[in-house]
Structure 1
């Protein structure tokens, strides 16, 4: 089933995507611990691209797409293939699944080293209904062979739905134009394509959108703060910006995306930023779990990035990302200001709390959202669209399209570049001071 993910009635920009996606009524969200409520019938064949943490879970966070698919689809789920060059890792996770209560979903799964190998050896009886892309971002979002997984799926599996993790890519900055070319092909195909900016699917976030829309107020300012617990990040590639592109692009992308979701399109020319680097006095970290000495000095990540910008509407935005906390839990907040309103989202990854101050009241309302799982909601929403369950023509569709995700990616690159320019200017200024002293 092919279906355009952007309503023709919605305003579009020059790149063809919805300017600001509409909200979803939080009352429609199905809890993950509720019985399966999909109206579709028959097997739902899925191909998992990637057998790592985001697909099968780890102790580093709540990421585990396989778990959400199992809960949503129940006995209908059939994982026909797992594609990962790390064959042994794929074998381990499949063995664990086949020894559990969800074994029927995996008992006939086949392992392939690459998408090309799968294409050459796929069986017609195992035709996929959907692909889930959870491979590292450096292997997607490109027109170049080996990194063009989206284009290969469009070519060999026309009409098959795709769910892809964020960020949409981590290639060189000069490939952003090519990335938008991929986005155009995705949009023109009409395929149901969703990108994993799961925070958009939080009940708290949708409540914030509803408050702004129902009261017809325009956002004046967004203030985002993202502090990660670096002690729990044990992947060496995360600490190497030649591989991950750095924490703003790889991790802070979630809050850059939420900022855009509320503030609208960013005027990229206004982005300014400063950073604290690893070799500055304040940048020392005492509980690293990786050996940073194995990473070239020029590729070590910033400890703090502080950015500000203007939205095309005239509103202003800011983001501070820090690699500073120890332990496990992150500390994250997003504030949105409009005429008479302050909406403050706290702790969105674990137990979201929303504080709302309204016109005529100096005190905050407090809203809590027990049991909310945006990972499940984004998967559930996407599957319902694939199954064409929702027949209301005014119903919201995908909250994060491929094109929209490309704009967030472009924005994160602008912040990284702005901080690097600022760093170079400080070095030049310091060199001049030493010369003249």
Structure 2
């Protein structure tokens, strides 16, 4: 079971410094008003005064210095007091060797996926980290990249061969509701029959032009639906990729006309505009069936997300996992659903806590998302996109 809220976690034990390098000075690493992500905050609470951020790497020196200025004016000042800013990981490594300082305990990768998960220069961050810091543990944000699935698999094999501790940020696996579902399946010796995932985003609030451009953010299934494709696989297992079929509602079709798009879509090439709805179905390798639907349909700010899992006698529904997770379970012998909810659950903290426990031999050293597993989720999202594009009705 993943650990729960930070305030229930015992205060950090005193001990030796834990040196962390952070790559990326943006929202994933330091937080934003758009959501609960903020890796630095979780590392601060897990490690307390032991945390020493030795380097912050970002091509924008000004942005990096600005976030550090804010940290140095807060109660976590000691973690960032001596943090140096570098444009590249190569610059940091050269400075480290020049000063004769030992390698960091962990590298946290929060830069955009376009810079990682690949094998070509500029997209090969993990390969560079293996060359420069072969014995360091890596925490890497999802998805694993934006390049080819084959390249991501190649990176996977290099990481496995080198034997690094690697955790990928599919934090929904760490939700207590999700772990409760796993427990029910294990305790009752169930075989999953089907999964059904639905992800409806509030498109009116998505004002980042890149999100609306398939050439940059790769489309909503790969960029956004990845969490629910990953959760589906967490319960259903490996997917028979040849079985994936999908349909889409495209921007030029009558049902795909949206009234509150917050950007000027006319500036995006017609071929690169995103689908409004993608619906997919597949077979898992054990014979179970999976289905997934992503909709660019809601307005306002709140998303609507659900995952259903069926097994003999059981129906489990995970509702609103991002904001207020609840689990509804129907069991044999009772036609009424039982409800489970956990207050103050923080899966972002749980994944960071487990990562550090894995490095240090702590009480809960369970990484629930490896790079290999995350690459399989990446492969599924690409299979869905390719299948939906192959079956679409072209613009007249």
Separation in 2, partners of 1:398, 1:168: 16
- Assess, with a 3 A threshold, how the Cα gap between structure 1 residues 35 and 345 changes in structure 2: closer, same or farther: closer
**Which residue of 378, 387, 390 maps to 1:418?**
387
Number of the residue aligned with 1:332: 305
Asked if residue 144 in structure 1 is aligned to residue 113 in structure 2, the reply is no
Number of the residue aligned with 1:160: 136
Correspondences of 1:30-69 after superposition (within 5 Å): 30-34=4-8, 36-38=10-12, 41-69=15-43
**Which residue of 64, 77, 84 maps to 2:51?**
77
Number of the residue aligned with 1:191: 164
Correspondences of 1:16-415 after superposition (within 5 Å): 25-26=1-2, 29-34=3-8, 36-38=10-12, 41-122=15-96, 123-125=99-101, 127-171=103-147, 175-390=148-363, 397-415=366-384
Per the TM alignment, residue 231 of structure 1 is displaced from its structure 2 partner at its CA by 2.2
Number of aligned residue pairs: 394
Per the TM alignment, residue 268 of structure 1 is displaced from its structure 2 partner at its CA by 0.6
Number of the residue aligned with 1:9: none
Structure 1 stretch displaced more, 240-249 or 331-340: 240-249
Per the TM alignment, residue 295 of structure 1 is displaced from its structure 2 partner at its CA by 1.5
Per the TM alignment, residue 31 of structure 1 is displaced from its structure 2 partner at its CA by 1.9
SS in 1 for 2:7: coil
Q: Does structure 1 retain, via aligned residues, the 8 Å contact 2:354–2:365?
A: no
Q: Does structure 2 retain, via aligned residues, the 8 Å contact 1:218–1:339?
A: yes
Per the TM alignment, residue 153 of structure 1 is displaced from its structure 2 partner at its CA by 1.1
Q: Does structure 2 retain, via aligned residues, the 8 Å contact 1:163–1:196?
A: yes
Indicate the RMSD between aligned Cα atoms, in angstroms.
1.6
Q: Does structure 1 retain, via aligned residues, the 8 Å contact 2:198–2:292?
A: yes
Per the TM alignment, residue 30 of structure 1 is displaced from its structure 2 partner at its CA by 4.1
SS in 2 for 1:125: coil
- Assess, with a 3 A threshold, how the Cα gap between structure 1 residues 268 and 288 changes in structure 2: closer, same or farther: same
Separation in 1, partners of 2:218, 2:157: 24
Per the TM alignment, residue 179 of structure 1 is displaced from its structure 2 partner at its CA by 1.5
Q: Does structure 2 retain, via aligned residues, the 8 Å contact 1:46–1:132?
A: yes
SS in 2 for 1:386: helix
Separation in 1, partners of 2:209, 2:14: 42
Structure 1 residue runs without a partner (length 5+): 1-24, 432-437
Q: Does structure 1 retain, via aligned residues, the 8 Å contact 2:4–2:346?
A: no
Separation in 2, partners of 1:327, 1:32: 30
Structure 1 stretch displaced more, 158-167 or 85-94: 85-94
Question: 1:174-204 deviations in whole A, cap 9, x for unaligned?
Answer: x322221110111121111000000000000
Separation in 1, partners of 2:366, 2:18: 20
SS in 2 for 1:403: helix
Separation in 1, partners of 2:175, 2:4: 12
Per the TM alignment, residue 35 of structure 1 is displaced from its structure 2 partner at its CA by 5.3
Separation in 1, partners of 2:374, 2:175: 17
SS in 2 for 1:348: coil
Separation in 1, partners of 2:80, 2:200: 37
SS in 1 for 2:114: helix
Structure 1 stretch displaced more, 355-364 or 145-154: 145-154
Q: Does structure 1 retain, via aligned residues, the 8 Å contact 2:356–2:365?
A: no
Structure 2 residue runs without a partner (length 5+): none
